[in-house]
């Protein structure tokens, strides 16, 4: 009588091929579905994280391997939060300015925060 262990051992390659084929077909289905949705173009949205990461990747591809030129994004709502914080803590601007590195870029308290 054939046990399940023997059957699995005898058909290892077939089972592995079936698992690989199923996973490839599943991924192809995901790519087809996501290609028809807005998710595929998130890197074009001005206020999305994907735009930031796309820009970062393009900078790396153009030779900025150490990411010296990339800065965190500042959107309108970041500026609102920073303005409210600076109203509550006016001394924070001076503290942030003191901690700024001595590079050539102008000081931006919102960016520093």
pLDDT digits (tens, 9 = 90+) for 6-30: 988 999 999 999 999 999 999 999 9
Residue-range definition of the domain harbouring residue 55: 43-73
C-alpha–C-alpha distance, residues 94 and 74, integer Å: 20
C-alpha–C-alpha distance, residues 16 and 11, integer Å: 9
Within this chain, do residues 78 and 111 fall inside the same structural domain, yes or no?
A: yes
Q: Can you read off the two tokens belonging to residue 21?
A: 């084929």
Within this chain, do residues 86 and 110 fall inside the same structural domain, yes or no?
A: yes
Within this chain, do residues 96 and 85 fall inside the same structural domain, yes or no?
A: yes
Q: How many domains does the chain have?
A: 3
Confidence of residue 63 (pLDDT cuts 50, 70, 90): very high
Within this chain, do residues 79 and 56 fall inside the same structural domain, yes or no?
A: no
Within this chain, do residues 99 and 83 fall inside the same structural domain, yes or no?
A: yes
Over range 28-50, report the average pLDDT: 86
Q: Is the pLDDT of residue 73 over 70?
A: yes
Per-residue pLDDT, 62: 94
Within this chain, do residues 82 and 100 fall inside the same structural domain, yes or no?
A: yes
Angle at 73 between CA 71 and CA 78, to 5 degrees: 130
């Amino acid at each position: 009588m054939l046990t399940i262990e023997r059957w699995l051992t005898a058909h290892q390659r077939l089972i592995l091929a079936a698992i690989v084929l199923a996973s490839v077909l599943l991924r192809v289905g995901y790519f087809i579905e996501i290609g028809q949705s807005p998710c595929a173009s998130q890197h074009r949205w001005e206020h999305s994280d994907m735009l930031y990461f796309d820009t970062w990747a393009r900078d790396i591809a153009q030779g900025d391997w150490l990411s010296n030129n990339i800065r965190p994004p500042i959107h309108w709502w970041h500026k609102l939060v920073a303005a409210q914080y600076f109203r509550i803590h006016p001394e924070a601007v001076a503290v942030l300015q003191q901690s700024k590195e001595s590079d050539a870029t102008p000081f931006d308290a919102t960016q520093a925060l």
